[in-house]
Amino acid sequence: MNCIDCGKPISQLSTRCQSCAYIFGWNKPYSGYYTKDFNWRLKKKIKERDNYKCQMCDVNESTVKQTNKQGLHVHHIDYNKRNSSPDNLISLCPSCHAVTNGSREIWTEQLSKRII
């Protein structure tokens, strides 16, 4: 049997591999927090659209991966985890992503102007 999201081989006791289960939130207490479509495929499309660069500091993903295995983060501009529309998502390096946790109204306005 294969994972229903990424196609990796899995045991017959599950429908998703551990990685996809984590991404979709099925193994977290608040499993409905993110939408099902906020997955690695959508994140890849957003990173491609943003030329694999942080849209705040312009660092590229290969540089980020030298210190952070995950690479660039995909951030919800309006902070609504249920709004996975591409015009609400932006690529940020972990450092810039951390900065956006305060002054949410200001960051929502600033980041929405940076969508390519």
Please tell me the pTM assigned to this model: 0.70
Tokens matching residue 91:
């690529």
CA dist 81 and 54 (Å) reads 20
At residue 42, φ and ψ (nearest 5 deg) are -65, -40
First to last CA, the chain: 39
Per-residue confidence (pLDDT) for residue 28, from 0 to 100: 47
pLDDT confidence of residue 13: 65
Angle formed at CA 99 by CA 95 and CA 104, multiple of 5 degrees: 145
Segments making up each domain of the chain, as ranges: 1-33, 36-112
Encoded amino acid at 19, one letter: S
Of the candidates 13, 12, 33, the one whose C-alpha atom is nearest the C-alpha of residue 22 is: 33
**pLDDT tens series, the chain, 116 aa:** 787 778 888 776 667 777 776 665 554 444 447 788 899 999 999 999 999 999 999 999 999 998 888 899 999 999 888 899 999 999 999 999 999 888 888 889 999 888 76
Q: How far apart are CA 50 and CA 101, in angstroms?
A: 21
